[in-house]
């Protein structure tokens, strides 16, 4: 994760935590935000696909699938950011950004978060449309 887009998003979320006065808990909070955003995106993709294709999946199976996906995301974010203190490498890599790059990075993460929330809304709409036989 040290050289990926996820690393950059992690760094931006870390910097956001510092900016709002949560510097003492910035590392775990950035990890929790990453987990939350990745889970929202993954769940939205799955829900959207299920709304668009005709597949009969029990709610029990879907619940277990979402639990497993959540566990995998938690383990992945832990392994890629907290384990072996990888967050230190991520922070060190992006720490010396110039002001222009810093502003672009902030804008990128804001757009990422807005897109994630909008995509979640779209997936809810697709499920609603499917349940009302509008698809």
Please tell me the pTM assigned to this model.
0.85
Instruction: State mean pLDDT over 104-113.
Output: 86
State the DSSP code for 132: T
Alpha-carbon torsion, ordered 80, 83, 87, 90, to 10 deg:
-40
pLDDT digits (tens, 9 = 90+) for 47-100: 999 888 877 788 899 899 999 999 999 999 998 888 999 999 999 999 898 888
**Lookup result for tokens 């935590």:** 17
Annotated domain spans of the chain:
5-131
pLDDT at position 4 is 84
């Amino acid at each position: 994760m040290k050289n990926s887009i996820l690393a950059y998003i992690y760094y931006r979320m870390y910097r956001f935590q510092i900016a709002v006065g949560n510097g003492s808990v910035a590392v775990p909070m950035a990890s929790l935000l990453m987990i939350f955003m990745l889970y929202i995106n993954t769940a939205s993709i799955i829900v959207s696909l299920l709304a668009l294709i005709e597949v009969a999946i029990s709610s029990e199976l879907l619940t277990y699938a979402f639990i497993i996906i959540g566990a995998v995301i938690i383990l992945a974010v832990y392994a890629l950011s907290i384990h072996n203190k990888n967050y230190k490498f991520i922070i060190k890599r992006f720490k010396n950004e110039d002001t222009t790059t810093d502003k672009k990075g902030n804008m990128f993460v804001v757009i990422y978060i807005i897109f994630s929330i909008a995509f979640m809304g779209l997936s809810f709409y697709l499920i609603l449309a499917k349940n009302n036989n509008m698809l």
